């Protein structure tokens, strides 16, 4: 066990973070999407220590973070599509998969010939990346399988004793991980939806493909385009069920399940949109924001799943969003957190 310091970002703490990274150590830091667990991406030992701290399967590659587009040149083959995308979306919640160059260790890419790269926009992430002048490999700073961390406390809860420093940058603005876009395929392909939506990408690209495993489980024998898509992910300890359909039907279905569970002494938590919360009066519902602001549901999801675990809630029910715009990323995470467990309330399923 090492002593984990939780520090507010100041010039000194950012210098300390940079020194630790230069020495091959781990640092937890905020980004606009979720908190990252950073290490020097050019140091194979440092990269391996990320996998150990998270309990991450060794075949799931890491994202390399840099402060400026010029820093990508030594790491990967940047094509014209990547340049166009960077002009519009970087810094920001976009990760691009590009053919890697020799300097990036196989430990970072889990043996792949491509590398995932991203330029975060969070001022603390940027300050830290500039101070250490290194490319930083960073997955989300959670224990593998758990919901990603959107506050410094979440990182502390999962990784205390496994790293020397966490920089506290408050709550993450996007709340879901970056969009992972594969630029090594003939048509750019979204492997993981995130803050940069397909609609936004189409303002720059002629065509974007969406990997079809985004809203369904991988079929038996099917190859995951993105290794991260294979694992059960983002799951709370309690059992989460998504309920789809017309709002009255959804609320009716969730009410019946909740009342039945309560009659057996089980606690239930309901994730509901503000416009529908009246329909759950007398039951314990938490707001996932307004239907008109789906980015709010995205921002809150992981934190709500984590607090349900903190409160030992065994059963959760959630309303759903249409899978467009940021709704696609929200539904991708919700489906995985629920292990694809869902009820169609319009079909009268129970």
- Binding residues (CB under 6 A) for ligand TXA: these are 31, 33-34, 36, 60-63, 95, 97, 109, 112, 114-116, 118, 120, 138-140, 177-178, 180, 191-192, 226-228
Minimum CB–partner distance for residue 243 and ligand TXA (Å): 27
Q: Which does 31 bind (CB under 5 to 8 A by kind): Mg ion, ligand TXA, none?
A: ligand TXA
Minimum CB–partner distance for residue 13 and ligand TXA (Å): 18
**Pairing between strand 136-137 and 36-40?**
antiparallel
Residue 8: is the preceding peptide bond cis (ω within 30°)? Answer: no
Closer residue to ligand TXA (CB): 128 or 313: 128
> Terminal CA-to-CA distance of the chain, rounded, Å?
47
Cβ burial, residue 7 (10 Å; 0-12/13-18/19+) = middle
The answer to whether 115 touches 100, Cβ cutoff 8 Å, is yes
Verify binding: residue 140, Mg ion, rule CB under 5 A: yes
Residue nearest to ligand TXA (CB): 228
Give just the sign of the alpha carbon dihedral 183, 186, 190, 196.
positive
Q: Which does 180 bind (CB under 5 to 8 A by kind): Mg ion, ligand TXA, none?
A: ligand TXA
Closer residue to ligand TXA (CB): 35 or 280: 35
Q: Which of 171, 125, 136 lies closest to 152, judged by CA?
A: 171
Verify binding: residue 31, Mg ion, rule CB under 5 A: no
Closer residue to Mg ion (CB): 31 or 258: 31
Closer residue to ligand TXA (CB): 138 or 152: 138
Closer residue to ligand TXA (CB): 43 or 177: 177
Nearest-angstrom CA–CA distance, 204 and 194: 17
Q: At what angle do helices 294-310 and 326-337 cross, to 10 degrees?
A: 20
Q: Which does 295 bind (CB under 5 to 8 A by kind): Mg ion, ligand TXA, none?
A: none
Q: Which does 227 bind (CB under 5 to 8 A by kind): Mg ion, ligand TXA, none?
A: ligand TXA
**Pairing between strand 94-99 and 114-118?**
antiparallel
Contact positions toward Mg ion, by CB under 5 A? Answer: 140
């Amino acid at each position: 066990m090492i002593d984990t310091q939780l520090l507010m970002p100041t010039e000194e703490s950012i210098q300390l973070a940079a020194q630790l990274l230069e020495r091959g150590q781990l640092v937890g830091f905020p980004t606009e999407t979720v908190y990252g667990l950073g290490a020097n991406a050019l140091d194979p030992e440092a990269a391996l220590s990320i996998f150990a701290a998270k309990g991450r399967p060794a075949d799931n590659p890491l994202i390399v973070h840099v402060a400026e587009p010029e820093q990508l040149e030594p790491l990967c083959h940047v094509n014209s599509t990547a340049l166009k995308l960077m002009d519009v979306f970087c810094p920001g919640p976009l990760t691009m998969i590009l053919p890697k160059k020799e300097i990036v260790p196989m430990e970072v890419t889990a043996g792949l010939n491509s590398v995932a790269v991203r330029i975060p926009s969070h001022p603390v992430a940027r300050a830290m990346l500039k101070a250490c002048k290194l490319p930083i490999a960073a997955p989300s700073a959670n224990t593998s399988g758990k919901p990603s961390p959107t506050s410094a406390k979440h990182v502390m809860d999962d990784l205390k004793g496994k790293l020397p420093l966490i920089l506290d940058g408050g709550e993450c603005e996007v709340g879901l991980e970056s969009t992972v876009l594969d630029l090594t395929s003939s048509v750019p392909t979204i492997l993981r939806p995130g803050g940069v939506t397909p609609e936004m990408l189409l303002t720059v690209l002629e065509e974007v493909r969406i990997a079809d495993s985004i809203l369904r489980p991988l079929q038996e024998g099917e190859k995951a385009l993105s290794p991260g898509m294979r694992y059960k992910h983002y799951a709370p300890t309690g059992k989460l069920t998504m309920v789809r359909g017309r709002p009255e039907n959804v609320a009716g279905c969730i009410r019946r399940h909740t009342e039945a569970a309560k009659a057996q002494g089980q606690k239930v938590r309901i994730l509901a949109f503000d416009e529908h919360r009246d329909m759950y009066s007398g039951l314990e519902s938490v707001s996932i924001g307004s239907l008109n602001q789906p980015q709010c549901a995205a921002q809150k999801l992981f934190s709500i799943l984590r607090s349900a675990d903190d409160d030992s809630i065994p059963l959760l029910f959630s309303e759903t969003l249409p899978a467009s715009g940021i709704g696609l990323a929200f539904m991708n995470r919700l489906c995985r957190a629920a292990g694809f467990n869902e009820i169609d309330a319009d079909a009268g399923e129970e």
